[in-house]
Amino acid sequence: MENAWAKFTSNVHLHRTVVLLMLIAVLYVARGMMNTILLTFIFTYLIVHWIRLVQRWIPKLPVTVIVLVTYILLIWGIYYVVTDYLPMIINELVKMVDSLIKFYQGDDMKWFMRYVNRYVSTATIIEQAKHGMSFAVDTLTRIGTLTISLFMSLILSFFYTIELKQMNEFSHQFLETKYLNWLFGDIYYFGKTFVNTFGVVLEAQFFIAICNTALTMICLSFMKMPQIFALGLMVFILSLVPVAGVIISLIPLCLVGYQSGGIRDVIYIIIMIMVIHALEAYVLNPKFMSSRTELPIFYTFVVLLVAEHLWGTWGLIVGVPVFTFLLDIFGVKSVQRHRGPRSIRE
């Protein structure tokens, strides 16, 4: 028995395969917490790299000060979006619905309503209304769940980054243990590889979001739209979601455009979003993703399509990192490592 255990622990490929399967099983069991896990990882990754960037310019600035100021600004930004931007969208939505009701109640549309009543039964209308209410309740539930996940991920990432040095020192103690050091070594190997691949794709998507936001704000300024800064902030946040983010931003932009310039501005916005979406899907996304991950454009497209089918919106975010991660650990293609920034100091 001891001889078999010694052979197992000495076979690096075998026990790394076992550990990888164990990690996949754990993530599958914890799939209900996937929003919190991924958001915590993203926030922690961004804040840690922000700390290192600031310390390059101000080496003596303590990590605690950087983290506190960063989270204060982040919370202020969320507060601004909730208190200023969200009420504006709700107000525009109410005005649009009121305008539609008045439009269909006008004398010019009575013939249309009689035509609808003739061919659409009351039972059908009631059934569609029930489906609409179910969809609304389901959407509100998902928004509430995502809000809780966002809140928890902010707390977890804050406590991780505020004690970053202690976390690193404590975590490295697992690698020096006399028991199961191979297990923690494999977990560290997979974690380091995934952080590197995810960071590469996250940087690419960040550049894509900047391009989308710049193009959108330029077009909105020519259209003389109100609240350009708030709309630009929304487009930037949604553009961090590959492919789908630009399409999602169409709804609030159309609401504001309808209230500002009527159906003409709505048509202009739809054309603008179609052009920007085509630019992202066929130029920016494959080009940035391929240059950062060194994957052929065809593979990038296929991975995004398959990942979206398997994991939904999150698949668009983690699909390419997971695929690149698998290529690295299977030895098909090594990931190009980042040049390490300065070490974090207290």
Does any domain span residue 178?
yes
**340 confidence band (pLDDT: 50, 70, 90):** very low
pLDDT of residue 344: 44
Average pLDDT of the residues in 174-196: 84
Of 140, 146, 144, 116, give the one whose Cα is nearest residue 39: 146
Classify residue 169 as exposed, middle or buried by CB count within 10 Å of its CB (0-12, 13-18, 19+).
Answer: exposed
Does any domain span residue 227?
yes
**341 confidence band (pLDDT: 50, 70, 90):** very low
- pLDDT exceeding 70 applies to what percent of the chain? 72
Sequence-ordered list of residues with C-beta below 8 angstroms from that of 342, at least 6 positions apart, any chain: 52, 55, 56, 59
> Cα(227)–Cα(225) distance, rounded to whole angstroms?
7
Domain that holds residue 100: 2-329
The more confidently predicted of residues 331 and 103 is: 331
Does any domain span residue 68?
yes
Q: Of 147-151, 315-319, 340-344, where does mean pLDDT reach its minimum?
A: 340-344
pLDDT tens column, 74-99: 888 888 777 776 777 667 666 656 66
Does any domain span residue 261?
yes
pLDDT of residue 117: 63
Average pLDDT of the residues in 12-38: 85
pLDDT of residue 68: 92
Hey, what are 153's tokens?
């991920």
Which DSSP string corresponds to 243-268? THHHHHTHHHHHHHHHHHHTHHHHHH
Does any domain span residue 302?
yes
Instruction: Tell me which residue has tokens 């028995």.
Output: 1
Average pLDDT of the residues in 322-332: 80
Does any domain span residue 23?
yes
Does any domain span residue 62?
yes
Domain count, the chain: 1
The more confidently predicted of residues 230 and 268 is: 268
> Does pLDDT of 315 surpass 80?
no
Does any domain span residue 338?
no
> Cα(298)–Cα(288) distance, rounded to whole angstroms?
13
| Kind and range of the H or E run holding 315 | helix 313-329
Average pLDDT of the residues in 171-195: 85
Other beta carbons within 10 Å of 160:
16
The more confidently predicted of residues 183 and 315 is: 183
